[in-house]
Amino acid sequence: MPRMTYRANLLPQSTKRSISRLFHSSKPTPNLVSDSVNTNNNLDSPIIFPITRFRKTKKLVQISSIALLSLPAQSLTTMHMDINTQIPAYDKVMLQRTLTIAAVPGDSTYFATDGFQHGFGYDLVRGYADELEVSIDLKAYASDEAALRALQSGAVDMALTTASTQLRNELALPSINISCGYDSSLTNNGLNPKVSWAFRQSNDPLSQKASYFLCDSVKLDSTQNLAAFYNQKLLKDNYSQQHFQQTLIEKLPVYQTSFINQAKNYDHDWELLVAMGYQESHLNADAVSPTGVRGLMMLTNSTAKAMGVADRVDPMQSIGGGARYLEQMKSDFADVPKTDRIWFALAAYNMGPNAIKGIQQQLTANGIDDKNWANIYAYLAKNQASNSRYGQAMQYVSNIRSYLEIMKLQPA
């Protein structure tokens, strides 16, 4: 069972007065599908995440033909709340400068075990909150139904779920499929095509803006790249699984204390260092590559010297050198939000920090957020044919993410 810990942070019961000037979109509004879910749950404790920013987006021509379509007619007359007196969620979000979401942990929504927080659906929500220039207050629920009922009650502003069609119809909450109809972009990467955002009202600017945000042509490309990064099919074949598990059983016990101690020295997650060691050398202290990198963490000679490593094949020194170098990479990207910083640091560990900073400069020159991992990954994907190092960096970071998730989900 996953080791999950959540900290309660319930919204206050009182609601603020509606602001006098309401947002009215000048663009035609795509209708939203009714979305819901199933379960029994008493876990309504949250995890808190910060974020920021909003730009206007163009709606795709195909929005009218994809499965965002209409809210069931009965929901217009059987809303659980009086829409004539209810404050629009958008107004509340902008007043409080916080987007409160209900979510259920999962490989297509978000991963939050042992303090390691990220995920496909969650990263997209972070992007939306960034556009709105608000922070995120994420509340974790044990089931989709519990998350959606929290949305119905007004305890949250939106819900991130993978609800079944049957359960969606039961609760009659409007929702947007994250893929905007391009389900294959998710299923090809082992992600759930039903992952969606649900709202209380289809005509609320919060849901309308979400439609434009998700279904913009540029955003769709970014979503597909993000789905590739969170590919759940990596390491799922029997050989890869067996080799990884066998290595952890046979080799990790020899080095585990060193990984734990060095992680403490540099405030790292020790299992992250293990995942890096497996990616680098399969935890082989005597490993040597054709390019001359050596040891368990496969340090170059110059990096080893810079990190004070005298003997690269000494496991303790190699792990210590790798931990110090990773800390340096994290420091080099200290201006990147913490939720994305580890991916930047890992890519820099593999390619060198100057290579990543060069990509950042390219993104900035094109008006693209250079501190968002999804944008870095998209750049690597787009240009990997002309630079093989880009493809290697993509694989490096994605594999380490997969190894780490596998370890986090194993029984303690």
Q: Which residues are catalytic?
A: 280
Rounded to whole angstroms, the Cα distance separating 173 from 33 reads: 8
Please give the span between the terminal C-alpha atoms of the chain, in angstroms, as a whole number. 8
List the beta bridge partners of residue 112. Answer: 117
User: Per this entry, what is the length of the chain?
Assistant: 412
List the beta bridge partners of residue 48. Answer: 137
Angle between helix 338-351 and helix 353-365 axes, rounded to 10 deg: 120
- Which single residue is written with the structure tokens 């391009």? 182
DSSP string, 311-371: -TTSHHHHHHHHHHHHHHHHHHTTTS-HHHHHHHHHHHHHH-HHHHHHHHHHHHHTT--TT
Contact call for residues 315 and 285 (beta carbons, < 8 A): yes
Rounded to whole angstroms, the Cα distance separating 147 from 318 reads: 45
Contact call for residues 373 and 337 (beta carbons, < 8 A): no
Contact call for residues 9 and 139 (beta carbons, < 8 A): yes
Query: Both tokens of residue 321?
Result: 């050198």
Query: Both tokens of residue 297?
Result: 């963490």
Contact call for residues 89 and 158 (beta carbons, < 8 A): yes
Q: What phi and psi values does residue 365 have, to the nearest 5 degrees?
A: -60, -25
- Which single residue is written with the structure tokens 């880009």? 390
